[in-house]
Amino acid sequence: MNTRKFKLSDEKKRSTQRRVVRSWLIEHPELNPYKFTWDKFYRKITNRFRMLPDFLIIGGAKSGTTSLFAHLVEHPNIIPGSMKEMSFFQYLSNNKTSFYRSHFPIKRKNLITCESTSNYFVHPLIPARVHKLLPSVKLIVVLRNPVERAYSEFQKKVNLGEQITENFEDDIKSELKRIEIGNKKPELKIGNTNYDQFSFSHLRHGLYAQHLEKWLKFFPKEQLLILHAKDLYDNLDNIIAETFEFLNLPKYQVENRIEKSKIDKIRPLGGHEHNIYKNIDSKTRTLFSVQNYPEMKSDTRKFLQDFFRPYNEKLFKMIGRRFDWNDEK
């Protein structure tokens, strides 16, 4: 079979990737290495005194990572980077390490730093990129019922006007067709280096076992902490305590609810403050707060439960733990 017509030329691939990166940089000027600001100049000249992340929250999307991040940085021994989602390993990994380092705090005794980018978990090339730069980094993954996660992400993109269709069932059919095509054509599989192939994949993001396998090729299980998203609601204190222990930090009691006014500014980084949470706003609400979208159809839920079941079972065997996803409604 002639697959040439399905392949983009190298130049076209590079052109597509440049457009994606250019668009992302426009949306995130604070991370644009080509735009001068006095803040970035200060960071550049103090670069050699700065830290690299001690831990990363790598996913999953729409699973409570923003809330977890906001709770964790309450700890006095944690000072985060200049913004929550840097996406360095996703878009900017070709930049020098010094650029990445410049977005983290100046080294201080007994302090650690971090970032949280929820798409890291599903990107097939990121485990190798992270390991190359941060082989000893600790990784935190929050996993949500993949059925609920897919529906939540779909509704979010509908609200943002990013969905081609506003019908969830039609979206599922389209993605299943893409997955089927991808299984027949290696250039379109989930491991494709072109991020666009899976950036709007509500189902493939929930194939947790596949993504976890890629991370375990580079990192031992001891460096990964896997959390159940539902526990952020049911057992927040225990989850936070478990995470602090994983990070080798002393115990610290965080507040159960974080108000935006309390996280508008983080603690000073090298003598000045940074408003890293300006884009979070109400995202720090609890993961399970009331959502303003219709209930999922029961037959759709049943179909998705059956679709994800074999992948969930594989995940449970890998982590030696079961989640009650098939019982959740």
CB-based contact 271:143 (threshold 8 Å):
no
Structural domains in the chain, CATH included, are: 9-324 (3.40.50.300)
Q: pLDDT value at position 200?
A: 55
Q: Is 186 exposed, middle or buried (0-12, 13-18, 19+ CB in 10 A)?
A: exposed
Q: pLDDT value at position 25?
A: 64
CA distance 308 to 144: 12
Q: pLDDT value at position 87?
A: 87
CB-based contact 109:28 (threshold 8 Å):
no
Q: pLDDT value at position 156?
A: 86
Using the predicted structure, report yes or no on whether residue 121 has a pLDDT greater than 90: yes
Q: What is the DSSP letter of 37?
A: -
Using the predicted structure, report yes or no on whether residue 26 has a pLDDT greater than 60: yes
CA distance 138 to 324: 26
Q: What is the mean pLDDT of residues 53-78?
A: 94
Using the predicted structure, report yes or no on whether residue 31 has a pLDDT greater than 90: no
CA distance 132 to 124: 14
Using the predicted structure, report yes or no on whether residue 275 has a pLDDT greater than 70: no
Q: What is the mean pLDDT of residues 169-191?
A: 68
Using the predicted structure, report yes or no on whether residue 95 has a pLDDT greater than 50: yes
Give the strand order in the sheet containing 55-59: 114-116, 55-59, 138-143, 224-228
Q: How far is CA 83 from the centre of its chain?
A: 13
Cα R_g (the chain), whole angstroms: 20
Q: What is the mean pLDDT of residues 257-272?
A: 40
Q: What is the mean pLDDT of residues 89-93?
A: 78
What is the average pLDDT value for the chain, to the nearest integer? 79
Q: What is the mean pLDDT of residues 22-47?
A: 71
CA distance 191 to 125: 8
Q: pLDDT value at position 29?
A: 63
Q: What is the DSSP letter of 260?
A: G
Residues 6+ apart with CB under 8 A from 167: none
- Phi and psi for 200 in degrees, rounded to 5? -120, 45
Using the predicted structure, report yes or no on whether residue 54 has a pLDDT greater than 90: yes
Q: pLDDT value at position 163?
A: 74
Q: pLDDT value at position 30?
A: 60
Q: pLDDT value at position 9?
A: 52
Window from 199-203, 228-232, 293-297 with minimum mean pLDDT: 199-203
Q: How far is CA 207 from the centre of its chain?
A: 14
Tokens linked to 149: 């996660």
CA distance 33 to 31: 6
Instruction: Note the pLDDT tens digit of each residue in 7-19.
Output: 445 555 566 666 7
Using the predicted structure, report yes or no on whether residue 159 has a pLDDT greater than 80: yes
Tokens linked to 288: 């399970």
